Amino acid sequence: MNFTIANWKMDLDLNQGVDLVKDFKKMAEREKDNLDNNNIVIAPPFTHLFSISKILSDSKVFLGAQNMFWETKGDFTGEISPKWLKDLSCKFVILGHSERRMLLNEDYFHVHKKIIAALENDIIPILCVGETRIQRNKGLKEYVILNQIENALSGIDLKDSKILIAYEPVWAIGTGLIIDPEEIEYMSRIILQKTIDLFSDKNIKEQIYVLYGGSVDSDNIESFMKYPTIEGALIGGASLNAKEFFNICKKANQFKT
């Protein structure tokens, strides 16, 4: 099983998004045998969710959101309830993306609360972690990632739900820079070990999936998906084109059968 997740960010307007999903759905139906091993998720902006939820309702493609609030109702101007996402059949939510951490001061204290709320509402969290270029140059990448995971996940009762952890080095996002696949594999093992320590449970591996994100496209997806500990990708720029995203999904589908 693996996960191929499209993060549209704030990039396609509603009409463009609807067209892309319709095109993608046609391709996916035509070649469904080439995608059967793949959990495909599309995460559009909030304003597009209602329309896109309707288009995807009779397909195997899942809907995701790019953020949510940690309370379900109340005086929280501008926020979106996890319950409303669930009402729209959103099965996944991206949390703690570095763009939110850097531009909006979101921290892992917030992310922690959002993860709890997502799990309580039956939404699978996609937790983003990643070091900056400066942190990496100082030799701090392991420390930063372990710390982010600890802050986001410690004390959480996972019960039997899944959590996806996307390792996204901040400097690789949207830059065209893809890091050495062996290094992605090394980081994925560190992340998995940290979750085993945190939940004091070797079996937790069944519930945690490590993904990679940062300039992923159809040319490089195979270079890291071949490693058993990397079980998917979070894709920004390359998910904005139906054919390219479809090709990425098809290539990812060959792994983890």
Question: DSSP letters along 59-126, please?
Answer: SSPEEEES---SSSSSS-TT---HHHHHHTTEEEEEES-HHHHHHS---HHHHHHHHHHHHHTT-EEE
Encoded one letter per residue, x for contact with ligand PGA by CB under 6 A and - for no contact, window 88-127 reads ----------------------------------------
Residue 220 binds ligand PGA, judged by CB under 6 A: no
Q: Is 210 in the site for ligand PGA (CB under 6 A)?
A: no
Q: Which two tokens stand for residue 225?
A: 């998906």
In this structure, which amino acid lies at residue 188? S
Of 38, 215, 218, 253, the residue at the interface with ligand PGA (CB under 6 A) is 215
Any residues with CB less than 8 A from the CB of 205 and at least 6 apart, and which?
192, 195, 196
Are the beta carbons of 215 and 168 closer than 8 angstroms? no
Q: Work out which of 40, 93, 198, 235 binds ligand PGA, going by CB under 6 A.
A: 235
Q: Which of 51-59, 117-125, 156-164, 208-216 is the region at the interface with ligand PGA (rule: CB under 6 A)?
A: 208-216
Q: Give least dist CB 101 to ligand PGA, A.
A: 12
Strands 232-235 and 38-43 turn out to be: unpaired
Catalytically active residues, by annotation: 97, 168
DSSP letters of 156-193? Answer: ---TT--EEEEE--GGGTTSS----HHHHHHHHHHHHH
Answer for which of 198, 213, 218, 251 binds ligand PGA (CB under 6 A) is 213
* Closest CB to ligand PGA among residues 82, 213: 213
Q: Does 131 bind ligand PGA (CB under 6 A)?
A: no
Q: How far is the CB of 89 from ligand PGA (least distance, A)?
A: 22
**Residue nearer to ligand PGA on the CB measure, 40 or 235:** 235
Number of H helices, E strands in the chain: 10, 8
- Of 28-36, 75-83, 111-119, 214-222, the segment contacting ligand PGA by CB under 6 A is 214-222
Only one of the segments 31-39, 65-73, 129-137, 235-243 lies at the binding site for ligand PGA (rule: CB under 6 A); that segment is 235-243
Tell me if 252 contacts ligand PGA by CB under 6 A.
no
- The residue at minimum Cβ distance from ligand PGA is 236
Binder among 127, 191, 236, 246 for ligand PGA (CB under 6 A): 236
CA dist 84 and 205 (Å) reads: 30
Number of C-beta neighbours around residue 101 at 10 A: 20
Nearest to 251 by CA among 237, 236, 232: 232
Give the number of other Cβ atoms within 10 Å of residue 97's Cβ: 27
By CB under 6 A, tell whether 216 contacts ligand PGA.
Answer: yes
Cβ 2 to ligand PGA, closest distance in Å? 16
| Least CB distance to ligand PGA at residue 155 (A) | 26
Locate 25 and state its tokens.
Answer: 């759905």
Three-state DSSP at 22 gives helix
The contact set with ligand PGA (CB under 6 A) reads 7, 168, 173-174, 213-216, 234-238
